[in-house]
């Protein structure tokens, strides 16, 4: 995975967080499966990009 892919994952995760947060606030009763799916996808995007960035940028303890 290169830096571009990790940054795109990070931006997509943050954008999804904003969109899903707006949907959850404006829906009268959001479905549990919908909220769980949004959280799972968002967590996957953010965690993979944040865990991959130090390895991609070679930010090891030397």
* Cα atoms in the 13 Å half-sphere on the side-chain side of 14: 7
46: tokens are 């953010």
For the whole model, what pTM was predicted? 0.68
- In this model, does residue 58 exceed pLDDT 80? no
Q: Is 58 left (phi over 0), alpha (psi -120 to 50) or beta?
A: left
Confidence band of 45 (pLDDT split at 50, 70, 90): confident
- In this model, does residue 61 exceed pLDDT 60? no
- In this model, does residue 56 exceed pLDDT 60? yes
State pLDDT tens for residues 16-41: 888 888 887 888 887 888 888 888 88
Q: What is the mean pLDDT of the chain?
A: 81
Three-state secondary-structure class, residue 5: helix
Q: At what angle do helices 3-26 and 32-56 cross, to 10 degrees?
A: 160
pLDDT at 1: 62
Nearest to 43 by CA among 11, 18, 13, 19: 13
Domain ranges of the chain: 1-60
């Amino acid at each position: 995975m290169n830096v571009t892919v990790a940054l795109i994952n990070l931006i997509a995760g943050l954008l999804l967080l904003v969109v899903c947060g707006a949907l959850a606030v404006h829906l009268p009763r959001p479905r549990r499966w919908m909220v769980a799916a949004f959280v799972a996808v968002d967590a996957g995007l953010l965690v993979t990009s944040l865990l991959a960035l130090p390895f991609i940028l070679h930010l090891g303890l030397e």
